[in-house]
Amino acid sequence: MCIALSLSLPAGSRADPQQVWAAGAYSFSDEEGGFRITGASGSGTRDDPLVITEELQSATPVTLTIRTTKPIRPFDPSGDFANGIMYMRIEALNNSGQPWVEFEFELQETLGQPSVFGDGLSFDQRNKNPDNIRSTGYAQFDRNFEPYDRLLFKDGKVDPLKTVKFEFLMTDYTPRWTFYLVQDPRIPSS
């Protein structure tokens, strides 16, 4: 079940209407601009991942704001709490007018600052051989930890007006109420 909520922003901050999408124990917002969320669903488990559908209007980095909507209880399997284990699927429509040859995700606990080891936030850093990272548009991926938590998809291409799916696990062993997922589509260099 997904719920879209209106989000009030100061006058003049952005022309497009804002919505906050709720799914599982979290809410998702495009309030930082540059893209538009079109849907959210799922609970965040392996069998029912959080699915965020979105449209990127440019080939510049954009930031997805993620907030907990339920109490935090690390590792709780009931689904009644934000537990710090989030299986994700991002479905991104390329409406930038340019092909994307790579796509990078970066986790940030504080907006604009790299995630560090002590914040507990990562793309399943403890798992040395993840089997849950994949994409419909890219054949390979690299994970980069410390001082960043980055996940780079490469060896592929997503043409304009095509949709690409990304699947991965985000873990937060010291769960926070708010954190960020920076998404950076890369275009060919001339």
Pair 18, 6: CB distance under 8 Å:
yes
- The domain total for the chain is 1
Does the structure show a pLDDT above 50 at 83?
Answer: yes
The amino acid that residue 119 corresponds to is D
pLDDT at 190: 59
What is d(CA 77, CA 82) in angstroms, rounded to the nearest whole number? 10
Q: Which residues span the domain enclosing 119?
A: 3-186
pLDDT in tens, 34-74: 999 999 999 999 999 999 999 999 999 999 999 999 998 88
pLDDT in tens, 131-187: 999 999 999 999 988 778 999 999 999 999 999 999 999 998 877 899 999 999 999
State how far the Cα of 141 lies from the Cα of 59, in Å rounded to an integer: 19
Q: Is the pTM of this model over 0.85?
A: yes
Task: Give pLDDT tens digits for 106-132.
Answer: 999 999 998 877 777 899 887 888 899
